[in-house]
Amino acid sequence: MNPTYTALTQYLGAFSVLNELPADSVVPPAWQALLGSPAPDRIRLVIALWEQQYPREFSTLLSVFRQHLVAVEVLAQDTKCSLLYVFKNPRGEYLHYLGQAPLVAPQLPATLSGFPWPDRFLPFYAQLHNGWYEVVSHAVGLLPLEEMLLLSEHEWGILEELDLPSTFSLTNVLGVLSSGAGGYLCWNFNEAVPAGLVWWDDEAPDVVEFWDILDEWAAMGIQDY
C-alpha cells in the first residue's frame, strides 16, 4: 500500500485498496469499472459520475476536480466500500477525501424521515455517496446521513445574543456540512420551502443559497485548505 495511505488508518481504521472485484466486499455497480483501470481513467470515470448527476450544483467543485484530482482508489473496510479521492492543492499538499458507498433505499434514519427534503438533495446519497468529506477534519463536504447535526440537540451559547423570529426552532434546522471552523451549512425547515442557512457558533446565522454555498465551501476546502 502507498505509505501515504497507510497514515490514513488513524482516521479510517484498517482498509485495503482494491484492484479487482472481491468476493466478500460489495462494490457498487457504478464503481466496478474503476477496478483495475489506470489512474487517469479512474479520475475520468469518477468526474463523469458527478457530472452526470450534478453538473450545475457542483460546477465549481468539478472544475477543481479537473485541476487537482490526482488519484482515486476503491477501498475495502470490512465488508463496506468507499472511494478515496486524492487531491494536490495549489501549494503542492496532498488532501484525502472519503466518499462512502451510496445508500440502497430505503435507508433514511428515522430522525430524518419527517423532513420535507428538497428534490435534488437526497439523491446525492443514493447516486454518489453517503457522505463525502476531508478525511482528517471530517469536514468541508457533505456528512453521512447518520451524522447530520440536528441543532436542537446541541448547546449554542450564541442563542442568548440572537433576535430570532418566534417561529424559528432549532428542531427544524439540520446541519449537513461543517466548515471545520465553527460554521455549519444547514437546511432550514422552518420555512415553507426549505432554505439554506449557515449557522455559526459565535455570530448570527446567514440565510444563503444552499447549493451555491455547498459548491463554494467544498471547492475552497481543496483549494484553500
Q: Per-domain residue ranges for the chain?
A: 3-223
Per-residue confidence (pLDDT) for residue 4, from 0 to 100:
74
Contact yes or no for 83/110 (Cβ under 8 A): no
Average pLDDT of span 65-85: 95
- pTM of the entire predicted model: 0.94
Per-residue confidence (pLDDT) for residue 181, from 0 to 100:
87
Q: How many angstroms separate the Cα of 204 from the Cα of each of 58, 158, 160?
A: 27, 8, 11
pLDDT in tens, 153-174: 988 888 888 888 888 999 999 9
pLDDT in tens, 129-154: 999 999 999 999 999 999 999 999 98
With a cut of 80, say whether residue 3 has pLDDT above it: no
With a cut of 80, say whether residue 191 has pLDDT above it: yes
With a cut of 80, say whether residue 222 has pLDDT above it: yes
Confidence of residue 1 (pLDDT cuts 50, 70, 90): low
H-run or E-run covering 3: helix 3-6
pLDDT in tens, 8-38: 999 999 999 999 988 776 899 999 999 999 9
H-run or E-run covering 214: helix 210-223
Q: Taking each helix axis from N to C terminus, what angle separates 210-223 and 59-68, rounded to the nearest 10 degrees?
A: 20
CA angle 130, 135, 139 (to 5 degrees): 70
Q: Could you list the beta-strand ranges (E) of the chain.
A: 16-18, 69-77, 80-88, 94-100, 132-134, 149-150, 173-178, 183-188, 195-200, 206-208
Per-residue confidence (pLDDT) for residue 23, from 0 to 100:
79
With a cut of 90, say whether residue 102 has pLDDT above it: yes
